[in-house]
Chain A
Amino acid sequence: SQKIEQNSEALNIQEGKTATLTCNYTNYSPAYLQWYRQDPGRGPVFLLLIRENEKEKRKERLKVTFDTTLKQSLFHITASQPADSATYLCALDVNNAGNMLTFGGGTRLMVKP
């Protein structure tokens, strides 16, 4: 069966450290992968998109890697801040249809001052 797996356990880190979140998938060959941030009681907000032919993408303190051989994406937040505390969701276009995303269950990040 097709799966998108994110660590369901919360990740607790100290302010200033780098947070690394993992997204693993099976039985897909997605053309791209997206990361979203979701705060409690709010809708997800798009952060980054990385294509299958891109190894790495950066945006300010955020970095995403995409390894299509390992079927894995890593999401890094450097110099983390308490304001980065949220749930982070990865999403894939599992049908390569262009408009359809399937989301992972998300990983909750807690950055402590």
Chain B
Amino acid sequence: DAMVIQNPRYQVTQFGKPVTLSCSQTLNHNVMYWYQQKSSQAPKLLFHYYDKDFNNEADTPDNFQSRRPNTSFCFLDIRSPGLGDAAMYLCATSPGDRGTDTQYFGPGTRLTVL
């Protein structure tokens, strides 16, 4: 089945140790998103790619970076994780048809920072 895949599902890292989360999609969608979601809160958009064009949200900390080497893959790099970065990280895709895009989410990666 076409889908959005995230690896790993659970990631444990140490305070300050860089970590990379990965996302892949078989939907051939133009747009890929990264969200951060903390317990009982709304998913918060960190950044998105429209094809190769990177769009960073104004309040996304510099500690968070992203790479999209090709259409199928997108990575979230957290350069120096802090305790406040512990959260669920959600990857999503959308076709890129302006006006009524719906988003397809992966299962998420739960990040624990020790």
Given the interface pairs A41-B108, A43-B92, A103-B43, the reply to whether A49 lies near B48 with Cβ below 8 Å is no
Instruction: State how many angstroms separate the Cβ of A99 from the closest Cβ of chain B.
Output: 5
Question: Looking at B90, B104, B105, which has the most chain A CB atoms within 10 Å of its CB?
Answer: B105
Question: Looking at B43, B45, B98, B100, which has the most chain A CB atoms within 10 Å of its CB?
Answer: B43
Closest A residue to B94 by beta carbon equals A99
Could you say which residues of chain B place their CB within 8 Å of the CB of A44? 43, 90, 103, 105
Could you say which residues of chain A place their CB within 8 Å of the CB of B105? 43-45
Could you say which residues of chain A place their CB within 8 Å of the CB of B103? 44, 46, 101
Q: What is the total of A-B residue contacts with beta carbons within 8 Å?
A: 61
Size category, B interface: 20 to 34
Which residue numbers of A lie inside 8 Å of B, CB to CB? 4, 8, 31-32, 34, 41-46, 49, 51, 89, 97-106
29 A–B pairs (Cβ distance < 8 Å), ordered by A: A4-B42, A8-B40, A31-B99, A31-B100, A41-B88, A41-B107, A42-B108, A43-B4, A43-B105, A43-B106, A43-B108, A44-B90, A49-B100, A49-B102, A89-B43, A97-B98, A98-B98, A98-B100, A98-B101, A99-B48, A99-B94, A99-B98, A99-B101, A100-B45, A100-B48, A101-B103, A102-B42, A102-B45, A103-B43
